Structure formats: C-alpha cells, structure tokens
C-alpha cells in the first residue's frame, strides 16, 4: 500500500477520496482502516443520537471534491426529495448530507478501500511502515492518522461515579446510547449548554409523554459557527502561522466556541420552553447521589431530581488516539507541544511518512481543523507538498 489512512470518519473518507483521484495513485494503493462496519459510522451514529436536523456548516463543506457537489446532488432524482437547505450560508439537512456522502462513497469505490480493524502499534521496516492491527499486520509506505474525538466522550467525575453505582446515566455520544432506551415519561435531565445538548433535549422532549429539563452552566449562547469562519482562510491564519506552538494552542482555545448554538436551535429551545414541552435550568453541578432509583443533583441553584440523565458534555479535550498514539510518540520519538498535541510540518508530516489530520493537526491547521472544512484544508496542504508524489 502507498497510503494507509487510520480512521474512516469524515476526515479519513474525504482524504481517501482525494488520494484516489490523484493520477499517480491506483485505488488499490490506498486503504482506510476503521473498526466500524462502515465508513462514517461514528458520524452517522452521533448525529442521529443527538437529533441533529441541519448541519452547522455550509453546503460547500462535505466529503466530495467539487465544492458545489451537494447542490448538484440536490438536483438529481435521488437527491431532489431530500433537497433542504436553511440560511444563513445554505446549510444542508442531515438526510441530504448523509445521502450525498453515501453516494460519494459508492460512486468512487471508497467503501472497497475500507479495512475493518483497529491500529494497535506501528514499526518501520526499511522504507515500509508495518501497522499491527486487530486483523493482522498491514504494510504501507505512508500513514495518515485521521483519528477524531468520537471515541472520547467527556464524563464529568460525578457522572462516572454515578455510572459505577448503576445509575441510569449515559452520554449521547456513547456507542450504547439510544434515544429510546428508557421510557419517555421518566423525568430526564440533559446536561450541557451547546448545540448537542439543545438538540438532544429537543428530540427527547418531542415525545408528548416526556418530562425533560436542559441543565446548562450558563445562559445558552448563540453563535452561527463553532469558530469564526475567518479561520478557514488566510485572513486569520496568516498571523496564526507566525505564532509559536504555545500561543497557537491559546489562540485555538479562544477561537473555538464549543458551548454555543446556532439561531434556529436557540429559537426552537425558546419555543419548546414557552410551550412547556422543555424545562431549562442554569445550574453548576456540585455533587450527585443515586438512591432508590432516583438521581439527586446538588447544584449552585438548588437540588434537582431525575430518573434518567443524558450527558451532552462533548469530548474530553486531550489528544485523541489513546494508547495507540501514545505508543507511536514513544516508539517514533514524535514531537508534541506541552498541551500534548502533535507538532507537525506545513505538509502535516509528524514523523517520516506519518501524516495527521483533524484534531491531531490543529496546531498546524488552526481552529477549523476538527470540522469538515478542516479535512478540506488538510487535503490542500497534503497536495501542496510533495507528500503525494
């Protein structure tokens, strides 16, 4: 193999598509290793579970190469019935985005490049890299790490303890989570102040029997994007590239707005509150107790009781990849900033023939690195270098 992409999410899928279109590469020279039974499985699961209806990003951010591909798809017989965009920036509906992605994967034979398995360790053998996986060793010339955050949902300490005690508490991004896994009429608290929490609360509250309260640390904050779009291009990135890696980390953390939601979701929450379908409480959780089937939360604004808690508290901020990436850093002597994230070249090369995208590339790509457009920017950097020769 010439390229083994580790991770078959949005980033891995887009970059496989891009590499497969390079004239000097044959499709058989590219592999996408991912433990799920299909590409984009984690994306499809998480977006279903939180009841997302429209993407937050514009219709030009997707896994195909031509920028207007979703618009074209929306005019085809297959896409027409799903064609649905909302302002601002013409954001596509989730069903449209999904059908478009599935079409791109099928049309370009990307699913055939999927190798179902998990990378465990890596070593070098001359010019080749050997990746030990759950389905045996794979040999490749180059590796692209496209490992996102989806395997590290964030569980606050109090929630971990309740879970160990057998309380009915779950995280919306856990593979085992299913919106219908408990009777709707059990008083439910959804914890979190961002778009995922709001969408999850709204979708659970859609059941007329439901009793759902959204709990956030502060008033809900409106923002169209989870970062200022100037971070996609040179307007903001020009100065970012002049910064040292510590300053880049601070810049990224300041620029990203994880606990915010676009206007239409904020409006839907306000309507649901007005109609008494959804409760809202501003509260900082201080302690939690599970007794006789009821969870009691001690907060700075009083005590709350529930029979089910759904966490929508995002992802743990640490570098993704867990033991696999930790070991890689040790075995290959790969450089990291004190924040734990890779220090990579302009061509996204971390070590000889080891490349990164997504969160692992954010000290080079900037605040948009984790998003769909981050994959497209990563593709530009990879192609601009001689990496793909």
Contact positions vs ligand FAD (CB under 6 A): 6-12, 33-36, 42-43, 46-47, 50, 52, 55-57, 61, 118-119, 146-151, 196, 324, 358, 370-373
Question: 360, 361, 357, 366: which is closest to 19 by C-alpha?
Answer: 357
How far, in Å, CA of 372 to CA of 27, rounded? 23
CA-based max dimension of the chain = 67
Pick 7 or 279: Cβ nearer ligand FAD: 7
**Rounded to the nearest whole angstrom, what is the least distance from the CB of residue 326 to ligand FAD in the complex?**
11
Pick 149 or 272: Cβ nearer ligand FAD: 149
Q: Would you tell me the crossing angle of helices 10-20 and 94-107 to the nearest 10 degrees? A: 40
Residue with smallest beta-carbon separation from ligand FAD: 148
Q: How far is CA 303 from CA 166, 282, 283, in A?
A: 21, 12, 10
**Rounded to the nearest whole angstrom, what is the least distance from the CB of residue 154 to ligand FAD in the complex?**
12
Pick 297 or 374: Cβ nearer ligand FAD: 374
Pick 31 or 283: Cβ nearer ligand FAD: 31
Please give the backbone phi and psi of residue 96, each rounded to the nearest 5 degrees, phi first: -65, -45
β-strands 285-291, 294-299 pairing:
antiparallel
How far, in Å, CA of 280 to CA of 165, rounded? 27
Pick 168 or 358: Cβ nearer ligand FAD: 358
Pick 82 or 147: Cβ nearer ligand FAD: 147
Pick 57 or 188: Cβ nearer ligand FAD: 57
Q: Are 117 and 128 in contact (CB under 8 A)?
A: no
Q: Would you tell me the crossing angle of helices 41-49 and 94-107 to the nearest 10 degrees? A: 170
**Rounded to the nearest whole angstrom, what is the least distance from the CB of residue 176 to ligand FAD in the complex?**
15
**Rounded to the nearest whole angstrom, what is the least distance from the CB of residue 300 to ligand FAD in the complex?**
28
**Rounded to the nearest whole angstrom, what is the least distance from the CB of residue 193 to ligand FAD in the complex?**
15
Give the helix, strand, coil percentages of the chain, each rounded to 5. 35, 25, 40
Pick 50 or 348: Cβ nearer ligand FAD: 50
Residue 383 burial class via C-beta count within 10 angstroms: exposed 0-12, middle 13-18, buried 19 and up:
middle
**Rounded to the nearest whole angstrom, what is the least distance from the CB of residue 197 to ligand FAD in the complex?**
11
Question: 316, 311, 317, 315: which is closest to 171 by C-alpha?
Answer: 311
**Rounded to the nearest whole angstrom, what is the least distance from the CB of residue 334 to ligand FAD in the complex?**
15
How far, in Å, CA of 325 to CA of 334, rounded? 10
β-strands 221-222, 212-216 pairing:
unpaired
Pick 151 or 243: Cβ nearer ligand FAD: 151
How far, in Å, CA of 357 to CA of 355, rounded? 7
Pick 132 or 243: Cβ nearer ligand FAD: 132
**Rounded to the nearest whole angstrom, what is the least distance from the CB of residue 291 to ligand FAD in the complex?**
33
287: cis peptide before it, omega within 30°? no
Q: Are 254 and 366 in contact (CB under 8 A)?
A: no
How far, in Å, CA of 102 to CA of 76, rounded? 14
How far, in Å, CA of 356 to CA of 368, rounded? 14
**Rounded to the nearest whole angstrom, what is the least distance from the CB of residue 304 to ligand FAD in the complex?**
25
**Rounded to the nearest whole angstrom, what is the least distance from the CB of residue 166 to ligand FAD in the complex?**
27
């Amino acid at each position: 193999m010439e390229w083994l992409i580790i991770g078959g999410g949005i980033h891995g899928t887009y970059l496989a598509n891009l590499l497969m279109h390079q004239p000097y590469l044959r499709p058989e020279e590219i592999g996408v290793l991912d433990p799920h039974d299909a590409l984009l499985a984690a994306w499809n699961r998480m977006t279903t579970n939180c009841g997302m209806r429209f993407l937050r990003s514009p219709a030009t951010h997707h896994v195909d190469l031509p920028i207007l591909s979703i618009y074209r798809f929306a005019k085809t017989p297959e896409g027409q019935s799903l064609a649905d965009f909302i302002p601002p920036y013409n954001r596509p509906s989730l069903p449209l985005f999904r059908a478009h992605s599935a079409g791109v994967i099928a049309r370009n034979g990307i699913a055939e490049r999927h190798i179902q398995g998990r990378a465990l360790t890596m070593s070098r053998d001359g010019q080749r890299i050997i990746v030990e996986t759950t389905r045996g060793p794979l040999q490749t010339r180059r590796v692209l790490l496209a490992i996102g955050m989806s395997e590290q949902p964030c569980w606050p300490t109090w929630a971990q303890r309740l879970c160990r005690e057998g309380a009915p508490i779950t995280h919306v991004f856990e593979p085992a989570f299913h919106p219908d896994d408990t009777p709707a009429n059990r008083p439910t608290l959804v914890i979190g102040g961002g778009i995922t929490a709001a969408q999850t609360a709204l979708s659970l509250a859609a059941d007329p029997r439901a009793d759902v309260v959204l709990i956030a640390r502060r008033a809900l904050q409106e923002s169209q994007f989870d970062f200022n779009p100037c971070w996609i291009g040179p307007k903001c990135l020009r100065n970012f590239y002049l910064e040292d890696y510590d300053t880049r980390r601070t810049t990224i953390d300041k620029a990203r707005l994880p606990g915010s939601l676009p206007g239409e979701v904020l409006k839907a929450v306000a309507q649901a509150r007005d109609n008494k379908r959804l409760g809202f409480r501003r509260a900082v959780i201080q302690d939690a107790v599970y007794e006789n089937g009821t969870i009691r939360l001690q907060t700075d604004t009083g005590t709350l009781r529930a029979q089910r808690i759904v966490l929508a508290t995002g992802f743990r901020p640490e570098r993704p990849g867990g033991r696999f990436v930790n070991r890689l850093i040790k075995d290959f002597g790969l450089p990291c900033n004190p924040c734990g994230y890779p220090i990579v070249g302009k061509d996204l090369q971390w070590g000889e023939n080891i490349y990164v995208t997504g969160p692992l590339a954010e000290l080079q790509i900037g605040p948009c690195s984790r998003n769909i457009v981050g994959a497209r920017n990563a593709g530009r950097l990879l192609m601009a270098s001689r990496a793909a020769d």
